[in-house]
């Protein structure tokens, strides 16, 4: 029987953050943890940087899933939803749902035992506010675009990335990827108050089922998490991955 070394208590959501540079020296060990199909996928990356980051992220994911489920990292089987969302098999999950996101130098891994989870981290890239407004008009809902357009230029950057990460966390909690058009739901863009899901015309009942939170992110990044069917107010426990600290210790 599998024995786990890390436990998620009722009401908790565990979020692990990883700085790629802290793990890249361990890539030979992490690479060994990947399944055959993941290793084949890694080989297909054209850019060395993308290959290394994919390998490190999957290796660390497997370490975490091993700690929480008790199954050896290499033996964990991941299955994929219609739009590519990875998940544990029913026989290995022990109730654990997870999602991960990576951008630039950082990755986030979120794990929950109550309902689905979606997480997103984005590096804030140096666009002009005029360019951001053009992107917002093209990709965000009318409600979101007009809220961002009404802000002073100095506030557009944070509002744009708050909106982006909240929207990505939302589509990831549903496992939909870009099959759910980004204009088909609205989130709040205000960075000074708790994020809210404002409208979900594609699925009206979802307003009651899915909630959003911003996550603390490294300087120059923004991050958000979405939880679906999570009873009560979650306690977010934040951990930093290190090759010297095993989850659960």
Ligand X SMILES: CC(C)(COP(=O)(O)OP(=O)(O)OC[C@H]1O[C@@H](n2cnc3c(N)ncnc32)[C@H](O)[C@@H]1OP(=O)(O)O)[C@@H](O)C(=O)NCCC(=O)NCCS
Instruction: Rank residues 38 and 114 by Cβ distance to ligand X and give the closer one.
Output: 38
For ligand X, the binding residues (CB under 6 A) are 54, 57, 83-86, 99-102, 118, 120, 139, 164, 167-168, 171-172, 175, 177-178, 182
Report, in Å, the least distance between residue 42 CB and ligand X: 10
DSSP helix/strand/coil, 99: strand
**Residue 237, CA distances (Å) to 16, 197, 245 in order:** 8, 23, 16
Report, in Å, the least distance between residue 98 CB and ligand X: 9
Instruction: Rank residues 85 and 211 by Cβ distance to ligand X and give the closer one.
Output: 85
Q: Which residues, in sequence order, are CB contacts of 130 under 8 Å at separation 6+? A: none
Report, in Å, the least distance between residue 86 CB and ligand X: 5
Instruction: Rank residues 51 and 94 by Cβ distance to ligand X and give the closer one.
Output: 51
Say how many C-beta atoms besides its own lie within 10 A of residue 75's C-beta.
12
Instruction: Rank residues 86 and 218 by Cβ distance to ligand X and give the closer one.
Output: 86
Q: Which residues, in sequence order, are CB contacts of 145 under 8 Å at separation 6+? A: 133, 136, 137
Report, in Å, the least distance between residue 181 CB and ligand X: 11
Report, in Å, the least distance between residue 192 CB and ligand X: 21
Instruction: Rank residues 70 and 86 by Cβ distance to ligand X and give the closer one.
Output: 86
Report, in Å, the least distance between residue 3 CB and ligand X: 26
Instruction: Rank residues 50 and 235 by Cβ distance to ligand X and give the closer one.
Output: 50
Q: Which contacts of 61-67 are long-range, i.e. CB under 8 A and separated by 24 or more positions?
A: 61/98, 61/100, 61/109, 62/33, 62/34, 63/30, 63/33, 63/246, 63/247, 64/6, 64/16, 64/98, 64/109, 64/111, 64/241, 64/247, 65/96, 65/98, 67/4, 67/5, 67/6, 67/246, 67/247, 67/248
Nearest to 175 by CA among 100, 239, 247: 100
């Amino acid at each position: 029987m599998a024995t786990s070394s890390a436990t998620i208590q009722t009401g908790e959501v565990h979020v692990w953050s990883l700085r790629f540079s802290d793990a890249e020296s361990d890539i030979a060990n992490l690479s060994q943890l990947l399944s055959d199909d993941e290793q084949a996928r890694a080989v297909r990356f054209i850019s060395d940087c993308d290959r290394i980051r994919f390998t490190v992220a999957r290796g660390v994911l497997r370490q975490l899933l091993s700690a929480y489920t008790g199954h050896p990292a290499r033996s964990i089987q991941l299955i994929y939803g219609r739009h590519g969302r990875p998940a544990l098999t029913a026989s290995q999950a022990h109730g654990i749902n997870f999602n991960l996101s990576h951008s630039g130098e950082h990755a986030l891994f979120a794990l929950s035992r109550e309902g689905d989870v979606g997480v997103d981290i984005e590096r804030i890239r140096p666009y002009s506010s005029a360019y951001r407004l053009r992107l917002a008009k093209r990709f965000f809902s009318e409600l979101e675009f007009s809220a961002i357009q009404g802000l002073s230029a100095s506030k557009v950057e944070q509002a744009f990335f708050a909106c982006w990460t909240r929207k990505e966390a939302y589509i990831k909690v549903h496992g939909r990827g870009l099959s759910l058009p980004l204009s088909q739901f609205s989130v709040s863009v205000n960075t000074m108050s708790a994020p809210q899901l404002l409208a979900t015309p594609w699925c009206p009942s979802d307003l009651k089922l899915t909630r959003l939170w911003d996550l603390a992110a490294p300087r120059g990044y923004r991050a958000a998490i979405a939880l679906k069917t999570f009873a009560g107010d979650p306690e977010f426990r934040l951990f930093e991955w290190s090759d010297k600290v095993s989850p659960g210790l």
